[in-house]
Amino acid sequence: MAWHKIWLVLRREYVYNFRRPAFLFTAFGVPLLSLVAMFAIFSFTADQETNLDDFQRISYVDRAGVLSPAINDGYGYIPVADAGVDPPVRTSSGNNRGEYYNRLEDTAHQQLLDEIIDAYFVIPGNYNETGRVDLYAREDIPIRLLENIESFMRNQIAVQATAEGEVTPSVAERLGDPTDLVVRDLETGNELNEAAIFGRFMLPIIFVVIYFMATNTTAQYLMSSVVEEKENRLMEILATSIRPLELLWGKLFGLGSLALTQIAFWAVAGVLIASFNADAQDFFGGASFQAADIALVLGLFVLSFLLFSSILLGIGASVTAEAESRQVAGMFIFINVLPMVLMVTFITNPNGPVPLFFSFFPLTAGIGLILRLGLTAVPLWQIVLSVGIQLVSVVVVMWVASKAFRLGMLMYGKSLTPRVFLRALREGRTVLTTATSDEPTPQARQKKKRGLFAR
């Protein structure tokens, strides 16, 4: 095997594809746009859940009589008032009190429709037994508002209980603010802030997006390169000066280097962002990836690239047009992306049957295992089994792809069907020397002559 010829093919594939605007956009622009869109969606969702700008005027109707407007709790919630109705005295009948609070609720409802207030909540008369509070608003209610109302109720009850001597001030303080929750990493014991928790959830997804784009983009360019060279008959010229295996390895190494360039670019970008932004440092530090995990991810990337490159290379050598090759390759790419489509199963139960299956199935093992590594502690035996399955799959698929490449590289205008491929393997042929001719092979002609002589 002439390594200098492999180097020439490698350099040509790398430089030619790296200069293509379509590749630059697909390799760097699409992942960047995907990540920006992902962050924008999450940021918008988080802002919607915490933004209280549209809920500044909150009123309430206290049917249970458990709140005191005199308590200054900092929330600014005010009771609904109706100037046309006097509040009932304690000795009033239940009917009078019910009518009064019904009138207050009607007033609050009208004020909400007239945009005088932004929301109001009603404390039912059986609040002490049920703890239920009814909240009304014109727009979607953010989680932060629900938390504030819950805290408001705790503070009110705690202050009144202290005034009545039912609990001590320290207990009342804990009742009003029961927890100061700190999330810590199980392995290191380090405190995780919001950015770190968000990073623990998002980093595996980011890795998978970059991983998928790098492997599939370069593998598809490899397939397109083979189909293009067959269509313009450049392959016939190359066959006179370079062996099929040398051409095969040159293309694999060249586009593999291109994929590693993408990974290196995004890794350097992540380091630079983290070095200038404290929140970014917390974001990246929140992930449970260790040095061994990073090495494993790179190993999975290499195995996945070799597997899909071999599959798409075999497809490219077997078909006659690029449109046909993309149709066939689309099935394999769809299978590869299934873990991302069913990502919710990884998030809710990373050790469930579906994530386990995707971790062991060769076409999805790379993405499936990376997702699980970021979400849970994967047992060593599962990692070893997954990597072993991928290694065996890569060896088998590369052997089949090399045979298909040898057989199909000169078949201009004809597809390499499974029947022709299997027949060629049985007869021990590794190269088809005729591309468009339908003449019988030398073996067939010899058999025909023997038949004539025998007769």
Residue 453 maps to a domain: no
- Does residue 451 lie in a domain region? no
50 part of a folded domain: no
Are 176 and 197 in the same domain? no
Q: Are residues 341 and 216 in the same domain?
A: yes
Higher pLDDT, residue 288 or 227: 227
* Residue 332 near residue 363, CB atoms below 8 Å: yes
**Same domain, residue pair 115 and 176:** yes
Whether the predicted model's global pTM rises above the 0.95 cut:
no
Q: How confident is the model at residue 88 (pLDDT cuts 50, 70, 90)?
A: low
Q: Which residues of 310-349 are buried (b: 16+ CB within 10 A; e: fewer)?
A: bbbbbbbbbbbebeebbebbeebbeebbbbbeebebbeee
Rounded to 5 degrees, what angle do the CA atoms 280, 284, 289 make? Answer: 180
357 versus 323: the higher-pLDDT residue is 357
Residue that is last in its domain, among 152, 181, 210: 181
Q: What is the mean pLDDT of residues 157-165?
A: 70
Query: Does residue 450 lie within any of the structural domains?
Result: no
Residue after which a domain boundary falls, among 146, 181, 216? 181
Please report which confidence band the pLDDT of residue 392 belongs to, taking 50, 70 and 90 as the band edges.
very high
In this model, does residue 214 exceed pLDDT 90? Answer: no
Q: How many helices (H) and strands (E) does the chain have?
A: 19, 6
Distance, CA of 147 to CA of 141 (rounded, Å): 11
Please tell me whether residues 73 and 168 are part of one structural domain: yes
Alpha helix segments (H runs only) across 142-288: 143-163, 169-176, 194-231, 234-238, 244-276, 278-285
For residues 276 and 147, state if they share a domain. Answer: no
- The confidence score (pLDDT) of residue 391 equals 93
Enclosing domain of residue 220: 3-43+191-442
Greatest mean pLDDT among 158-162, 384-388, 422-426 lies in: 384-388
| Domain match, 159 and 85 both | yes
How far apart (Å, rounded) are the C-alpha atoms in residues 379 and 375? 13
The pLDDT score that the predictor gives to residue 452 is 36
Return the top range by mean pLDDT from 16-20, 220-224, 333-337, 383-387: 383-387
In a domain, 247, yes or no: yes
| Domain co-membership, 127 together with 177 | yes
**Averaged over 238-265, what is the pLDDT?**
80
Residue 405 CB neighbour total at 10 angstroms: 22
| Cβ-based neighbours of 37, under 8 Å, separated by 6 or more | none
* Res. 450: pLDDT tops 50: no
Shared domain check, 39 and 12: yes
Query: What is the rounded average pLDDT of the residues 32-49?
Result: 67
How many distinct structural domains can be found in the chain? 2
Look up residue 75 and give its DSSP letter: S
Three-state DSSP at 272 gives helix
Residue bearing the bigger pLDDT, 29 or 357: 357
Residue 281 shares a structural domain with residue 333: yes
Higher local confidence (pLDDT), 121 or 328: 121
Task: Name the band, by pLDDT with cuts 50, 70 and 90, for residue 438.
Answer: very low
Same domain, residue pair 409 and 436: yes
Condensed to tens digits (0 to 9), the pLDDT of residues 8-19 reads 888 888 888 888
Say which CATH number the domain at 81 has.
3.40.190
Residue whose entry in the numeric block shows the structure tokens 């299997």: 422
Per the model's pLDDT, the better-predicted residue between 290 and 146 turns out to be 146
- CA-nearest of 346, 344, 386, 337 to 217 is 337
pLDDT of 135 strictly over 70: yes
Mean pLDDT of the chain, nearest integer: 75
Lowest mean pLDDT among 115-129, 170-184, 284-298: 170-184
Cβ count near 380 (within 10 Å): 8
More confident residue, 407 or 453: 407
Range of weakest confidence among 143-152, 280-289, 383-392, 424-433: 424-433
In a domain, 447, yes or no: no
Mean pLDDT in residue range 19-42: 74
Residue 145 shares a structural domain with residue 253 = no
Sheet containing 78-79, strands listed edge to edge, beginning at the edge strand earlier in sequence: 78-79, 58-62, 119-123, 134-137
Is it the case that residue 140 has pLDDT exceeding 80? no
pLDDT of residue 435: 43
User: What is residue 300's predicted lDDT score, i.e. its pLDDT?
Assistant: 86
Residue 419, phi then psi, degrees to nearest 5: -65, -45
* 437 found inside a domain: yes
DSSP 162-196: HHTTSS-HHHHHHHHS-----EE-TTT--EE-HHH
What are 340-383's pLDDT values in tens digits? 888 888 888 888 899 999 999 998 888 888 888 877 778 899 99
Q: Which amino acid is at 90?
A: R
Residue where one domain finishes, among candidates 181, 215, 235: 181
- The pLDDT value recorded for residue 230 is 76
Looking at the fold, whether 321 and 394 belong to one and the same domain comes out as: yes
In this prediction, residues 69-74 reach a mean pLDDT of 68
Helical (H) or strand (E) element with 453: helix 442-454
- Better-predicted residue by pLDDT, 287 or 100: 100
